[in-house]
């Protein structure tokens, strides 16, 4: 059933691509015919004259798509990730298509005048229509996988914080195409301190039982969620999984994330590994700051009527100020006042002291529950971004009292303060907000700090906009 579903997804995706590419070619012909640019369309001929060219163009495109691994996906990619691959594949495919068309149809090209305007129309339309077709296909695939059709049966090894985080991610994102069959217990101290009280999945055995569990439950994929386990134990688990011919994924530990890009150097003959330095330096820092100023200023202007309405509703909903200023730690662990729309009672921490917000928090106001659900309460932080206290994207700013706790228990926690705190971040768009593991958030924050790029920031911002309506950890 799983193999049949995978084959159906790939074949239908291929047919969708072919249909969109040929439609783009046809529309490019019509645009060239009806909207001549610089040169008249007197010698363009009928569309039948271009049918062979269209076939070559379509076959070239899907072949390039294949080599770009656009048909090798088992999970549906995000629209942003797929769009970047589509742009490269369509651009290369267009160039190859022009070369092949000129070779196989050189007489027709000369006679009909295969104009560059038609090539440009075809390129732009192919980009747009292929993206639309793949988006529609992915929506259908996600819907089918969410209902279990074609889903992989997943086994999680480890019931600690990481295992439970993976369970939450899969449980609340059914479109990933996984169906969890259960957990394998490692018997570590961390697991003993983190029972599976809130996890609706059974413990099917210990590590020695993995081959039996794989066979009995028809497991397709195993995720080893033991980042702190010794290398020998991970190797042993992988060998046990390989007996069942399943896909194996390993959640990395902190050093594996750090060492994802290392270089080998020497110190007067002594070999040394150089872990990648912070990416945000020099002109990159200037570029990021420029984007922060432009985007925050434009957003504040556009959103000002909406923010004024929210402020008015807050005053009508409950007594107290409109804004709530809270001390947070930013760049180089320097404190700053973080602005938010007030979403809780004025005396929210009078009895509890500094605590994290939790789901269905009784301290929220009626309007505050809505503001926090859609992250509207964080819009005033655009002012923090504009004045330079924060960035649009970066590690989440924490309160000093929590920073003091975390830096004593989480390795390298303070290194996330080498960059400005962000309105959103890599950890947040990966579901790590609210009452989730601080250790896991730190790993994501450090990865962002060491792998920054402008495209990564843009990708995070776009995903943040979409997650405002779907994030279950926003409370």
Rounded Cα distance, 394 and 266, in Å? 33
Q: Is the predicted pLDDT of residue 371 greater than 80, yes or no?
A: yes
| Average of per-residue pLDDT values in the chain | 79
Task: With cut-offs at 50, 70 and 90, classify the pLDDT of residue 264.
Answer: low
Long-range CB pairs of 272-279 (<8 Å, 24+ gap) are 275/450, 276/450, 276/451, 277/450, 278/418, 278/419, 278/449, 278/450, 278/452, 279/449, 279/450, 279/451, 279/452, 279/453
Q: Is the predicted pLDDT of residue 369 greater than 60, yes or no?
A: yes
Question: Is beta strand 262-267 parallel, antiparallel or unpaired with respect to 270-275?
Answer: antiparallel
pLDDT at 79: 66
Percent of the chain with pLDDT over 70: 77
pLDDT digits (tens, 9 = 90+) for 391-443: 999 888 888 888 888 877 777 778 777 788 899 988 888 877 766 677 778 88
Phi, psi of 177, rounded to the nearest 5 degrees? 85, 25
Max mean pLDDT among 46-55, 232-241, 308-317, 397-406 falls in 308-317
pLDDT at 39: 52
pTM of the model: 0.56
Rounded Cα distance, 444 and 181, in Å? 27
Q: Is the predicted pLDDT of residue 329 greater than 60, yes or no?
A: yes
pLDDT at 2: 63
Task: With cut-offs at 50, 70 and 90, classify the pLDDT of residue 59.
Answer: very high
CB 144 within 8 A of CB 176: no
Q: Is the predicted pLDDT of residue 331 greater than 50, yes or no?
A: yes
Task: With cut-offs at 50, 70 and 90, classify the pLDDT of residue 124.
Answer: very high
pLDDT at 259: 47
pLDDT digits (tens, 9 = 90+) for 284-294: 788 889 999 99
**What is the average pLDDT across 333-354?**
78
Residue 190 tokens read as 């961390």
Least confident range from 18-27, 123-132, 398-407: namely 398-407
Q: Which CATH number fits domain 152-251: 3.20.20.370, 2.130.10.10, 3.40.50.720, 3.40.50.300?
A: 3.40.50.720
**What is the average pLDDT across 74-79?**
60
Task: With cut-offs at 50, 70 and 90, classify the pLDDT of residue 153.
Answer: confident
The domain segmentation of the chain, as residue ranges, is: 2-146, 152-251, 283-467
Q: In which region does residue 160 sit, left (phi positive, over 0), alpha (psi from -120 to 50) or beta (all else)?
A: beta
């Amino acid at each position: 059933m799983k193999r049949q579903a995978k084959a159906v997804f790939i074949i239908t995706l291929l047919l969708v691509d072919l249909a969109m590419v040929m439609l783009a070619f046809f529309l490019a012909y019509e645009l060239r015919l009806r909207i001549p640019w610089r040169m008249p369309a007197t010698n363009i001929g009928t569309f039948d004259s271009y049918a062979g060219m269209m076939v070559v163009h379509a076959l070239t495109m899907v072949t390039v798509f294949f080599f770009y691994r656009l048909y090798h996906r088992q999970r549906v990619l995000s629209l942003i990730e797929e769009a970047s691959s589509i742009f490269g594949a369509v651009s290369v495919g267009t160039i190859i298509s022009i070369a092949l068309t000129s070779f196989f149809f050189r007489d027709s090209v000369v006679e009909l005048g295969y104009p560059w305007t038609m090539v440009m129309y075809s390129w732009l339309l192919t980009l747009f229509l292929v993206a639309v077709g793949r988006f529609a296909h992915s929506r259908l695939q996600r819907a089918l996988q969410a209902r279990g059709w074609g889903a992989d049966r997943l086994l999680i090894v480890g019931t600690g914080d990481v295992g439970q985080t993976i369970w939450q991610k899969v449980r609340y994102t059914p479109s990933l195409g996984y169906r969890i069959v259960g957990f394998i217990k490692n018997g570590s101290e961390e697991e003993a301190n983190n029972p599976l009280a809130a996890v609706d999945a059974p413990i099917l055995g210990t590590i020695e039982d993995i081959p039996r569990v794989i066979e009995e439950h028809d497991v397709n994929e195993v995720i080893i969620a033991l980042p702190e386990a010794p290398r020998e134990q991970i190797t042993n688990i992988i060998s046990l999984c390989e007996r069942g011919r399943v896909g194996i994924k390993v959640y990395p530990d902190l050093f594996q994330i750090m060492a994802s890009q290392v270089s080998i150097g020497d110190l007067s003959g002594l070999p040394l590994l150089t872990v990648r330095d912070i990416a945000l330096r020099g002109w990159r820092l200037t570029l990021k700051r420029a984007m922060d100023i432009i985007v925050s200023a434009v957003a504040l202007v556009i959103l000002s009527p909406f923010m004024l309405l929210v402020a008015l509703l807050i005053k009508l909903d409950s007594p107290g100020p409109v804004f709530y200023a809270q001390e947070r730690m930013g760049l180089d662990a320097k404190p700053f006042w973080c602005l938010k729309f007030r979403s809780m009672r004025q005396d929210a921490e009078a009895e509890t002291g500094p605590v994290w917000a939790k789901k269905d928090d009784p301290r929220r106001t009626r309007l505050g529950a809505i503001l926090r659900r859609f992250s509207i309460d964080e819009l005033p932080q655009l002012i923090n971004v504009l004045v330079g206290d924060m960035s649009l994207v970066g590690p989440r700013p924490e309160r000093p009292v929590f920073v003091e706790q975390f830096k004593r228990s989480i390795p390298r926690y303070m290194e996330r303060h080498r960059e400005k705190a962000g309105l959103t971040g890599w950890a947040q768009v990966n579901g790590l907000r609210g009452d989730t593991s601080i250790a896991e958030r730190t790993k994501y924050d450090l990865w962002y700090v060491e792998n920054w790029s402008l495209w990564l920031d843009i990708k995070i911002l776009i995903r943040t906009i979409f997650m405002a309506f779907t994030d279950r950890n926003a409370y």
